[in-house]
């Protein structure tokens, strides 16, 4: 039986902890074949980012074109871009190949080391409206919305744009690890799996978004895909005490 295919569009991280390398490892662990388009060359390890060199839009588009020449994609996971404008342009280009393609957007605004990826956040809601799902963490939603209750903002975004939201709770101020899925007017609360000793990991957000995309590509319902992705990430976080997790 042929495996589902997912296209990932994100940056290259030499450590393999985040970006397209982490995405493809996560997809492979789910028996999903991953193609990877690079948006940026990052000069980093699991502790620090020294520099980010963004690829020109034409280079990103040409990579997308050659991937679609080889295979069709119904699901795309998108990570770092240098702006909301770039994210929107990538989605429009993807939809030239497949108008019904579904994009899972991990809006990486700032690295945990403090490096800012976006020059500005204006226009991000228009990008979200073109996506099937976005996976911000608690801090990112606070940056996107300068005021207001984070959970209420997620509900509003889903209602107004149609984009589902998986709110990652690793930075939850009161309940670390509690995630929320907003879809179709409903809210699903996903609590941490008990009994696992988890440790901070470089790239955990990338892994969550890719695991979620993999489960959706395997045709699992969104609520089940979200639960399975959370289980996978918690195994990843508990795999060892270093900043680089194991995929298993």
**pTM of the predicted protein model:** 0.95
Tell me which fold the domain 5-237 belongs to: 3.40.1190
pLDDT-flagged residues of the chain (< 50): none
Give backbone dihedrals phi and psi of 173, rounded to 5 degrees, phi first: -65, -25
DSSP assignment of 49-90, as one string? EEEEEEPPHHHHHHHHHHHHHH---SEEEE---SSHHHHHHH
- Using alpha carbons, list the distances in angstroms from residue 230 to 53, 88, 245: 31, 27, 15
Residue holding tokens 């298993």? 248
Q: Which tens digit of pLDDT belongs to each residue from 199-222?
A: 899 999 999 999 999 999 999 999
Q: What is the pLDDT of residues 146-172, one digit of tens each?
A: 777 889 999 999 999 999 999 998 666
């Amino acid at each position: 039986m042929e495996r589902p295919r997912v296209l990932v569009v994100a940056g290259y991280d030499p450590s393999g902890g985040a970006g397209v390398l982490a995405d493809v490892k996560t997809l492979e662990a789910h028996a999903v074949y991953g193609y990877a388009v690079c948006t940026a060359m990052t000069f980093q390890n699991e502790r620090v980012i020294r520099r980010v060199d963004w690829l020109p839009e034409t280079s990103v588009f040409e990579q997308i074109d050659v991937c679609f020449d080889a295979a069709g994609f119904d699901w795309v996971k998108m990570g770092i871009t240098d702006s909301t404008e770039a994210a929107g342009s990538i989605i429009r280009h993807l939809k030239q190949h497949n108008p019904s393609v579904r994009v899972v957007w991990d809006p990486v605004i700032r690295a945990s080391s403090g490096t800012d990826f976006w020059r500005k956040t204006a226009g991000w809601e228009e990008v979200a409206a073109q996506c099937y799902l976005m996976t911000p963490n608690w801090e990112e939603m606070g940056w996107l919305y300068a005021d207001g209750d984070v959970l209420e903002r997620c509900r509003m975004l889903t209602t107004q744009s149609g984009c589902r939201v998986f709110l990652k709770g690793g930075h939850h101020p009161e309940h670390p690890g509690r995630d929320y899925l907003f879809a179709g007017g409903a809210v699903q609360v996903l609590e941490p799996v008990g009994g696992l000793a988890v440790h901070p990991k470089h790239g955990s957000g990338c892994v969550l978004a890719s695991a979620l995309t993999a489960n959706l590509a395997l045709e699992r319902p969104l609520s089940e895909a979200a639960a399975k992705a959370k289980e996978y990430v918690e195994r990843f976080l508990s795999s060892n005490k270093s900043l680089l997790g194991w995929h298993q």
